[in-house]
Structure 1
Amino acid sequence: MGRHARSRAIHCARGMNRGNRCNKLHGYLWSLGAHGAINCATTVFILLLRKGQVLLLLSIDNNHASLLRLLQLADSALPIGSIAHSFGLETLVAEGTLAVHQLEQFLADYMQETGRLEVVFCRQGYQLARVRDESAFVTCWPALNDRLSAFKIARESRAASATLGRRFLQLVCGLTASPRLATALQVAKARKTDVHYCIAFGLASSILDIDETLAVLAYLQQALTGLVSACQRLLPLGQTQASAIVWRLKPVLLDVAEASVAAQQWEEECAVFTPLPDIASTRHPNLPTRLFIS
């Protein structure tokens, strides 16, 4: 909202009685939005009054609310069961393949491969939410999830991603009334197709008007944090050391997010090579004792 528009709004509010001040000001602000001066759909205006005089007219962008929603959706405490999955790390530790001194480099490589694959699909889910044709969405939604299922070779990791995605989508559907999210859940149930976590995260972020890049970075951050948290239960890894690893790997997450933007040629850009985690995930059901589902 520009300086002149703000001063005119304040002038409009002065002299009004308490009964019609809010209605007239709302109408004026809406007229400004209609002429492009402000965007009333994404801005909340707060009028501070004292004894009938305008003290301050504040504008609060709804992006702040979107940020709060993103922080909640990317929180490790979100009740979808992510704490129960190690995605093969438990096998690597049990077999002596992964130790604390190897962890940071391993996670960097993991995020550059699996992380990049998943945020490419996260972006596709984000963009799919913007498709206006409902029939096109109903067709593309299960196809997108099936495509990612084909990339996930290990059954346990594939099932973990699908379980988390379905629970995430169900949770968000309960938090916000979105016909598109409800349709996504209904189509997945009707066609018995997977709902992968990264795709559902992108879809929900788009519908909740969260910036695409922020959504991708938040997804990478929570994925990395989840893996480090699993390692804290598997390895002699303290909280301070774990936090330091996550901190130092932030440039890797930024690189992965940037690389995913250019992923236009799917067959080339989505190719991943993660034999160690895939084999470990395949062997996980045969461990004598297990802390994690995957």
Structure 2
Amino acid sequence: MMATRTTTTTATKTIEKIIPETTTSKADSIPKFHWLAYQQLLDSALPIGGFSHSFGLETLVQQGRLETVEELESYIGTMLANSWASSDAMVIKAAYNHIPKQEWDQLWAIDHMLHVQRVSSEARSGIQKMGRRLLQLSRSMYPELNWLPLDEAVKAGRCSSNHPIVHGWVSYHLGVPLDRAAEGYLYSCIMTCINSALRLMSMGQTQGQILLAKLVPLTGSEWQRVAHLDPLDAYTNSPAADLAMMQHETLYSRLFMS
């Protein structure tokens, strides 16, 4: 009897080694967050086209309405408070709300709502091109993630595939916490704007890095200010910037696409 029981126990342990447990919960499908993997998406060298767009900053510089680093700081602070956090980051929050429940129609509707609210055709086109490039790049980097719902919606024209929604999609599936995903997106907006200013204004790399360090804390405070909002309550209030984006099309000479 003792020999039989020992043999059975040994056989069970052998089977457990050969056949690993395959049952996984829904939460297990989301990888553990790794900050370096997410940091790669925030790199200024990420080839998604941000280097080609100033989103109205070029107009303001050419018109002499934005000439100093102090004025640039004020401009970025205004955009953070009244556009990037209150509008774009709301799409990221919507992604985190609706992806777990597979509420695709609601998610695509919010993406479309904020897409058509961009008054400048160049801005709409630019943010969409960056999103589609990020989608293409991220799909190549992480083919194991669930791309099917997003790919089908983009192909059918139900999703505008703007930069914020693709950022939110990738961040969610990489296991990035919502707060970090929203703040990371705001950081990338600041960095894109400063990099554009380096090509347009009389300022050096050191000044740019000092300004970036001053503005980084605003990513947290501005996100927390709007984090309680329902994504359907997203809003923008930056008329001067909107006009500059619209006027960019008629500039005599341009470095940027928008």
* TM-score where L is the length of structure 2: 0.84
- CA apart distance, 1:210: 1.3
Amino acid at match of 1:86: S
- CA apart distance, 1:278: 0.6
Out of 80, 94, 115, the position equivalent to 2:84 is: 115
What is the percentage of aligned positions where both structures have the same residue? 25
Out of 152, 158, 165, the position equivalent to 2:118 is: 152
Whole-Å separation in 2 of the counterparts to 1:249 and 1:168: 24
Match of 1:45 in 2: none
Match of 1:88 in 2: 56
Match of 2:172 in 1: 206
Which structure has more relative contact order (CA 8 Å, sep 6+)? It is: 2
Give yes or no for contact 2:108–2:159 (8 Å, CA) kept in 1: yes
- CA apart distance, 1:265: 7.1
Runs of 4+ in 1 over 4 A off after TM superposition: none
Q: Which moved more, 1:175-184 or 1:277-286?
A: 175-184
- The alignment partner of 2:119 has SS state of coil
Q: Does residue 254 of the first structure (1) align with residue 254 of the second (2)?
A: no
Give yes or no for contact 2:48–2:133 (8 Å, CA) kept in 1: yes
Q: Does residue 242 of the first structure (1) align with residue 212 of the second (2)?
A: no
Match of 2:235 in 1: 271
Q: 1:286 to 1:150 in 2, by over 3 A?
A: same
Out of 97, 102, 121, the position equivalent to 2:71 is: 102
Q: 1:265 to 1:229 in 2, by over 3 A?
A: closer
- The alignment partner of 2:146 has SS state of helix
Match of 1:128 in 2: 98
Whole-Å separation in 1 of the counterparts to 2:151 and 2:240: 33
Give yes or no for contact 1:130–1:206 (8 Å, CA) kept in 2: no
Q: Which runs of 5+ in 1 are unaligned?
A: 1-19, 35-40, 43-60
Whole-Å separation in 2 of the counterparts to 1:115 and 1:234: 21
The CA RMSD over aligned residues, in Å, is 2.9
Whole-Å separation in 2 of the counterparts to 1:169 and 1:127: 20
Whole-Å separation in 2 of the counterparts to 1:115 and 1:286: 25
Whole-Å separation in 2 of the counterparts to 1:182 and 1:172: 13
Amino acid at match of 2:227: V
Give yes or no for contact 1:129–1:180 (8 Å, CA) kept in 2: no
Amino acid at match of 1:99: E
More strand, by proportion: 1
Give yes or no for contact 1:91–1:281 (8 Å, CA) kept in 2: yes
- CA apart distance, 1:266: 3.3
Whole-Å separation in 2 of the counterparts to 1:141 and 1:219: 18
Amino acid at match of 2:82: E
Give yes or no for contact 1:115–1:256 (8 Å, CA) kept in 2: no
Q: 1:240 to 1:179 in 2, by over 3 A?
A: closer
Whole-Å separation in 2 of the counterparts to 1:230 and 1:115: 17
Give yes or no for contact 1:145–1:193 (8 Å, CA) kept in 2: yes
